[in-house]
Amino acid sequence: MSNLRLASALVLALDLAASPAFADASDDRAMAMVDRAVQYEKVNGTEKALAAFNDRAGGFVDGELYVFAYDFTGKCLAHGGDPKLVGTNMLEWRSVDGRFIFKEMIEVARKHKNGWIDYPFKNPKTGAVEAKTSYVQKVGDHFVGSGTYRTSPRS
């Protein structure tokens, strides 16, 4: 193989490794978990769904992934990662870079019905502030979401 062809193949391999399809495998899992949670809620009702989202054995916690739900005032309705947050209003909470993350999530859910929010967040496993991305989807008068820590930016 010529040096030019070898260099082209290397560039293509690096492009594929950095592509959304490669980098977003955990994003796909988060989106699939939210989609499953929304369907569960549509079939079983909000009360039963929120209880399942809060229950670590309820089928909506998978490793670092968990479902959370907030109303449009910023009140936590469910949190599979930390059910003690239920009832807490996070509307004015700021991330380490000063952004109102829950206001952003509410805006995405209200305006677009679903979408992604990227933000820095303390990873409870490592104790370090890391890049995190969450997918949120509107369901009636609240939204459901799930997020994952990233090793590379989502594009």
Neighbouring C-beta atoms of residue 118, cutoff 10 Å: 16
CA angle 125, 122, 110 (to 5 degrees): 120
pLDDT digits (tens, 9 = 90+) for 86-132: 999 999 999 989 999 999 999 999 999 999 999 999 888 888 999 99
* DSSP letter, residue 59: T
Among residues 49, 62, 35, 52, the alpha carbon closest in space to that of 136 is found at 35
Under DSSP, is residue 91 helix (H, G, I), strand (E, B) or coil? coil
C-beta separation of 131 from 149 below 8 A: yes
For residue 85, give Cα distances in angstroms to 54, 69, 145, 149.
10, 11, 15, 20
Quote the tokens at residue 122. Answer: 């303390």
Under DSSP, is residue 148 helix (H, G, I), strand (E, B) or coil? strand
pLDDT digits (tens, 9 = 90+) for 54-99: 999 999 999 889 999 999 999 999 999 999 999 999 999 999 899 9
- pLDDT category at 24 given cuts 50, 70, 90 is low
pTM: predicted TM-score of the whole model, two decimal places: 0.81
> Is CATH 3.30.450.20 what the domain over 23-149 is classified as, yes or no?
yes
- Alpha carbons within 13 angstroms on the beta-carbon side of residue 2 total 3
Quote the tokens at residue 146. Answer: 């799930």
Over residues 14-37, the mean pLDDT reads 66
Task: Burial-class residue 130 by CB neighbours within 10 Å (0-12, 13-18, 19+).
Answer: middle
